[in-house]
Amino acid sequence: MIKRMLSHVLVSLSGNRQSNIENPKLVGIVSLVITFAMCGAVAMAQQTGKIFRIGFLDGSTASGNAGLVEVFRQELNKLGWIEGKNIAIEYRFAEQKAERLPELAADLVRRKVDLIVVTSGPTALAAKKATTSIPIVMANAGDPVGEGLVASLARPGGNVTGLSSMSFELATKRLEILKDAVPKLNRVGLLRLAGDGTGISTDLQLKELSAAALALQLKLEGIKTQLDPNSLDSAFQTAKQKQVGAMMTIATRRFFAERKRIVELSGKYRLPAIYFQKEFVDEGGLMSYAADFDDLFRKAAHYVDKILKDAKPADLPVQQATKFEFVINLKAAKQINLTIPVRVLERANQVIK
C-alpha cells in the first residue's frame, strides 16, 4: 500500500516537474505522504519485528558466572536489545564438565540460534566445530590465533570474532609479580586440571610459563587436580609437600567458578597466591593481575549488536584487552604473615586494606 501511494505521487510529479516544484501545496502533500509512509513502515516493522535468538555457551556454572553475564546483558540493554522484546538468550552451562561442551554447542546449532556468545577458548573451539555458518562472538579467549580460532586478529576470517583477554601473555606477568612480592621465592606451584579436555589452552599457557620461569630462575611445580573439594584440598597438601613458596593457577573458567574454595585453601595452607581475575580477590584472595573482564563482556555486547545489524564476523577484527588491573589485598597478606614490598604496592591499581 505504501509503495502504491508513493508511486502515484511520483507519477503526478513527473507530469509537470517545474510547476509542481513551485507549488507549495503539492510539496506539502508529498511531504505528508512520505511522513505517513515512514511512520507506517516503522509501525509495521515493530509489529512484525524478529526476535533474535542468542546462544550463550560457558564451561562453568550459572552462579559462578552470574556477574559477568549481568554485565553483558546490561550492555545489550543499553544498545536497545531487550530480552523478551527483540532478543531471546539461550544459556548453556557445562557445569565444570568440559566433555559436555560439544553437545551443548551442537544443541544451540540445532535450535538455529542467530549467534553464539562464548566465554573462553575451549567454548569457542566447541562452537566452531559445531558450526561454520552461525556467527560466534568470543567474550574472552586467551590466544585466538594460537588456539586456531581465527586466521589473524586483524582479519579473523570465518565465523569467529570478538575479544582476547591476553591471559596467556599475562600469566608470565603474574609469575614476575609473585617473585617480586614473596621474598626469597624459588619454587611456585601451578594448579592445573587433570584431564580437563582443554589441551590447546593449557599447553599454550604452560609453554609461556615454562619459558618465564626459566628466565626468572624459578622452579615451576605442576600440580594436577579435579574440582571436587577433596581433590582440591589434596592438591594444596601436595603443594606444601613439594615445598612451594607460592601458588598460581592455569587460567580457565572452570577454576574461576571454584574461586571461593581455592582462595580458602590458599589461606588454610598459608600459601601466597596470584590469580587471573579480580573476583578471586573479591573472595579474599591475595593478589590478581588480569584484563578487566567487565570491560571485555561489555565490548562483546557491541560485537553482538553489530552482527545482528548484518555485520560479518570475518570483517570485524578481534580486539585485545586494553584495560588491566593489579589488585592487592593486604588483609589476606596479614593473615599469612606476608609483608609485600612497597615497590610492589606502588604498582597496584587497587590496594585493599
- For residue 255, pLDDT over 80 is answered with yes
Quick check: 3 pLDDT over 50? Answer: no
Residue 199 has what pLDDT? 62
Mean confidence (pLDDT) of the chain: 87
Output the pTM of the full model: 0.78
CATH 3.90.930.60: does it fit domain 52-166+293-320? no
Lowest model confidence (mean pLDDT) among 138-152, 190-204, 227-241, 246-260? 190-204
Is-same-fold flag (52-166+293-320; 167-291+324-352)?
yes
pLDDT at 211: 93
If one looks up domain 167-291+324-352 in CATH, what number appears?
3.40.50.2300
The per-residue pLDDT for 254 is 85
Q: What is the pLDDT of residue 6?
A: 41
pLDDT digit string (tens) for 77-103? 999 999 999 999 999 999 988 899 999
The amino acid at residue 81 is W
**pLDDT tens for each residue of 130-167:** 999 999 999 999 889 988 999 999 999 999 999 999 88
Please report, for the chain, the start and end positions of each structural domain, with discontinuous segments joined by +: 2-48, 52-166+293-320, 167-291+324-352
**Using one digit for the tens of pLDDT, what is the confidence trace for 177-187?**
999 999 899 99
Is pLDDT above 70 for 35? no
> Which pLDDT score is estimated for 173?
95
Q: What is the pLDDT of residue 195?
A: 67
Which of 49 and 182 is assigned the larger pLDDT?
Answer: 182
